[in-house]
Structure 1
Amino acid sequence: MLIFVGICGAALGAAAYFALGFTPIEAGLLALVIMLGGVIIEERRTRRRAFARLERGVEEMGHLLATDAKAGQVLSQRVNALADLDLGPRLDMIEADMSVLGTVVRQVAEAVSDLETAQAAYAPSPKENFDAIGEPQHRRAPTIALDEVKRALDEGRLVHHSRPILTLPQRKIHAFDMVPRLHVDGGRLAEPPEYMPIPTGEGTVVLRRIDRICAEEGIRIVRRARLSGDPVRLLIDLSPASLGDKPALDQTLTLLAANRAVNSDIVFALDYEDWTSLSRPQSDGLASLVQQGVSVALRNATTLRLDFASLAEKGVRYIETTAAAFLKSPATLTDFHSSDINDYIKRFGINLVVTDLETEGEILALLDDGIKLARGPVMGEAGPLRPDLRDEGDDSLRRAAAR
């Protein structure tokens, strides 16, 4: 700004000298007076701006001091209020409560220790405990020779019976277990533990064949039930040997794809120990079946300490455990109270089924625990299917599988 004032003063002095005829001294004095006037005016403007900034700073400082004073006043009031409180009795009460709480915790710890000691002293041996829970039937060595089983399959002597799963307390049919039985010499019907092959060598091939026959018959049964207007839900046993074999798995997937409308009525059942030992290809095979709309059931569960959310995501809708384990030794199955476990599992869309019921007293005990599904000899033995489901004239599934 001062440079501009100097230029203006010099310009006016030069104009007075050349245009107005001023002498050089007069023109210089005029220019000097103009420059001094401009400098004085600019200095006063600068001083006013500085005073204005200073006044604003003082005002802001005053506001800050006022705020600090209010905060100090509030803090002083709170300190005075705390000083007026009589905290002695309250501290004594808190100390007494903490002492009581410590006593309770110590008593609980002593009770838990006593329970663990008693359980260790009176717990059955591992073999006895396993027998109480129930050994998976298909783990036992078959008593019928493999060649006899193959000959019976070739002759079509594998028959399919059903075993009801009932609701409690109404005892209405909720679903059926498929029980494949084998006609042997003398007209006797052999149960699956008597003839089911061990999944090794040639036994694996025969086991896959039985799985395929059962899957075909199961799909045929639920299809006929749908057509008759009285649909049924059917649990069909499936072995890991069929899940890990691509040709066998493809045959089952073809059957399911051809009958997608009834897949929701089909539940493939695996033993819990087989489930826990599934390989990656077998797990992928089971997942491909679930994608077709079928469900999964776990049989002979020896524990209910499971990640039910993960099981539900994998298509598990039923978990079976024996009445002996659930009623006589529930602590071996779950940390929940026996009356709460069913409601907890149901939250994930999974049904708990208690099996092998033999007396009415066991049914009453299950009712007290809120169990909704059960099966066993006292509720109905395995027997032939309904007449409308035993129609042998329906070959559509075989034709679909052949295609």
Structure 2
Amino acid sequence: MIRISTIFIAICMVLLAASLGLVLYSVAGISGSESAIVALTALTFLILYNAVSMRLRDRTDVGSQIADLSRGTADLARQVAEFGRRLAAVEGRVVSANSAGADRIQAVVGEINELGTLVKQLAASVASHDDMLASGVAAVAAASKPDPEPPKVPEPPKGMSLAAEDTGMAPTAMAPAVVAEKPAASRSEAQILATVRNAVEQNRIDIYLQPMVTLPQRKVRFYEAVTRLRDDRDEIITADHFVGIAEAAGLIGRIDHMVMLRCVQVLRRLMVRNKEVGVFCNVAAATLGDPATFAQCLDFLEANRALASSFVLEFKQATFRRLGPIETEHLAALAQRGYRFSIDHVTDLRIEPRELADRGVRFIKVPAALLLDPRQASTSDIHASDLSDLLGRFGIDLIAERIEGERAVVDLLDYDVRFGQGFLFAPPRPLRPEGASATGGASPNKAQESNGASNAPSNGSGKAAAFEGPAVEPQRTTGNAALARRAVGPG
């Protein structure tokens, strides 16, 4: 588009040329044609002057623009050179980083290969050591079998003499326990069922107490109530022989209810002498799953809720693994009333402590042979030496049961086991009928006060020894005395 300034200049030139022609025509007296020619000539001159001046001005502008463009190009070239230098530096750094990374990767790969070789060697050495340990344990077990030093229940002479010497108990009290399994093994299921029915109807259910001691002090902390039945001839039938038959016949609920009653009586008598003592009472899976029988047991336990902290209900590991909705509800009802649970008959170490703690389990009894078996490390989720610490994080105490030798105690101390149970400390001892009814636990106290009982005068029935002497400390003296007797020998 034509600029406004150009139009204005053209108009001015036309006016100047016309004014010049009019002036010549009017003032100078020149004719009209001549004045028009002069005006046109002036206009042409002005046009040529304007064109030449504009051309010169455009050349000046173009020169300045070219100079500016050259300066801008130079600046751009300088910036491009700077960017090129920086890009070259970055590329050099990337190349050096890649080479360094490749070197590091090669070094790491080499180390991983070396670690793989070392792990394979370690696995081979561990496998060989496990084989050596397994063979060593087998050799030790074979060598320790003929050792007659640990007191065992199946050996009547030593068992009865030790019981009589350590506890002040009459030898006749241990006689039924020694011959317990012989009559039951030769009986048929029908005979055992009839015996169980008669025992339940005539209240011939006996309670045997076996202490659980702290390690290494061997201070009695708990008692486990073991159930035995007596037939018409006063022959003893152990739980292993009658529990399955009683469950099939629907009698185990009545037996468990009667045992709970006896255990609470024993616990009340024990707590008169020692407030820290506790009693473990076994409960069958059938009792836990039977609503009618469990309701009776729950009412009884509710009435004795004040003893909940010292009365521990014990179930088998298989029972906890097969809990149904009814059993879970019954366990929750017991836990709400403050009762704690224990697990025994443990067959493997695949244990979930968090789940058990949430259900109210506070004790787990594991056989000492299972804890010390090196083959369990490959089949369980945790090494046996770490089991006590793991359970302790969830408030569960580990109890090693079936301990029969001092060597096992030393090994269990390395596993940080706090409680122990077994024939090494004391076999299950029966409550005398008069002790169970009249004193409700005098005989168990004698097991804990064995030193005082041996030093106290006896009237023939052992009642004086049951209530004489301190309640806790003499057990440690008795253990040391038994060790000294075994070290000296039978002579």
With structure 1 as the length reference, what TM-score do the two structures score? 0.65
Amino acid at match of 1:215: M
1:378 partner SS: coil
Letter in 1 for 2:312: V
Give the structure 2 partner of residue 212 of structure 1.
257
2:281 aligned partner, one-letter code: I
Asked if 1:377 corresponds to 2:423, the answer is: yes
Shift of 1:190: 2.8
Deviations 1:27-70 (CA, angstroms, capped at 9, x unpaired): xxxxxxxxxxxxxxxxxxxxxxxxxxxxxxxxxxxxxxxxxxxx
Alignment match of 2:230 (pick from 157, 162, 183): 183
The correspondence for 1:390, drawn from 436, 441, 449, is 436
Question: Contact 1:326–1:333 (CA<8 Å) still a contact in 2?
Answer: no
- Offset of residue 338 of structure 1: 2.7
SS at match of 2:292: helix
Does the residue aligned with 2:404 lie in a helix, a strand or coil?
coil
* Closer/same/farther in 2, CA of residues 293 and 387 from structure 1, 3 Å limit: farther
Q: Give the Cα separation in 2 of the matches to 1:109 and 1:383.
A: 53
Q: Call closer, same or farther: CA 1:342–1:161 in 2, change over 3 Å.
A: same
Aligned equivalents of 2:194, 2:291: Cα separation in 1: 25
Q: Quick check: 1:197–1:206 contact (8 Å CA) kept in 2?
A: no
SS in 2 for 1:250: helix
Q: State the partner residue of 2:48.
A: none
Which residue of 2 is the match for residue 284 of structure 1?
A: 329
State the AA in 1 paired with 2:204. R
Larger Rg: 2
Q: How does 1:85-100 map to 2 (within 5 A)?
A: 92=103, 95-100=106-111
The alpha carbon displacement at 1:265 in A equals 0.9
**How far apart, in 1, do the equivalents of 2:296 and 2:390 lie?**
37
Q: Secondary structure at the match of 1:264?
A: coil
What number of residue pairs does the alignment pair up? 301
Relative to structure 1, the CA distance from residue 171 to residue 201 in structure 2 (aligned partners, 3 Å threshold; closer, same or farther) is closer
Match for residue 278 of structure 2? 233
Q: Which residue of 1 aligns with 2:410?
A: 364
Residue in 2 aligned with 1:350? 396
The answer to whether the 8 A contact 1:176-1:235 is kept is yes
Secondary structure at 2:223 match in 1: strand
Q: Deviations over 1:259-303 (max 9, x none)?
A: 111111111111111221222212211221121111111112122
Which amino acid is the alignment partner of residue 154 of structure 1? Answer: E
Correspondence for 2:377 = 331
**Do the aligned residues in 2 keep the contact of 1:142 with 1:197 (CA within 8 Å)?**
no
How much has 1:352 moved relative to structure 2?
1.3
**1:354 and 1:142 mapped to 2: Cα distance?**
32
Select the residue among 156, 165, 174 that pairs with 2:212: 165
Q: Secondary structure at the match of 2:296?
A: helix
Contact residue 221 and residue 389 of structure 1 kept, 8 A: no
1:300 alignment counterpart: 345
**Aligned equivalents of 2:104, 2:435: Cα separation in 1:** 74
What's the RMSD between the two structures over aligned residues? 3.7
Label 1:264 to 1:142 Cα distance change in 2 as closer, same or farther (>3 A).
Answer: farther
1:66 maps to what in 2?
none
Show CA shifts across 1:75-109 (max 9, x none): x8xx77x9499766786355324311232134425
CA shift in 2, pair 1:111/1:142, >3 Å? farther
Q: Is the contact made by 2:349 and 2:376 (CA closer than 8 Å) also made in structure 1?
A: no
Instruction: Check whether the contact 1:356–1:375 (CA below 8 A) recurs between aligned residues.
Output: yes
Aligned to 1:31: none
Query: Does the CA contact (< 8 Å) of 1:167 and 1:373 recur in 2?
Result: yes
1:156 corresponds to which residue? 203
1:105 equivalent in structure 2: 116
Q: Which amino acid aligns with 1:281?
A: I
Residue 169 (structure 1) shift: 0.7
SS in 2 for 1:145: helix
Which residue of the partner structure matches residue 465 of structure 2? none
Percent identity, aligned pairs only, is: 27
Q: Deviations over 1:160-196 (max 9, x none)?
A: 1211111111111121110112223543333211332
**C-alpha distance in structure 2 between counterparts of 1:384 and 1:158, whole Å:** 11
* CA deviation after TM superposition for structure 1 residue 309, in Å: 0.8
> SS at the partner of 1:179?
strand
Unpaired segments of 5 or more residues in structure 2?
Answer: 1-82, 136-183, 441-491
Q: State whether structure 2 residue 325 is matched by structure 1 residue 245.
A: no
TM-score (normalised: structure 2): 0.54
Matches within 5 A, 1:17-166: 83=93, 92=103, 95-109=106-120, 112=123, 143=187, 145-166=192-213
Deviation (angstroms), 1:339: 2.1
Equivalent position of 2:241 in the other structure: 194
Cα distance between partner residues in 2 of 1:286 and 1:271: 13
CA distance in 1, matches of 2:432, 2:185: 32
Q: Is the 8 A contact 1:142 1:195 kept in 2?
A: no
Structure 1: 5+ residue runs without aligned partners?
1-72, 125-139, 395-403
Q: Relative to 1, partners in 2 of residues 1:321 and 1:372: Cα closer, same or farther, differing over 3 Å? A: same
Letter in 1 for 2:224: D
The answer on 1:313 being equivalent to 2:324 is no
The separation in 2 between residues aligned to 1:116 and 1:284, in whole angstroms, is: 45
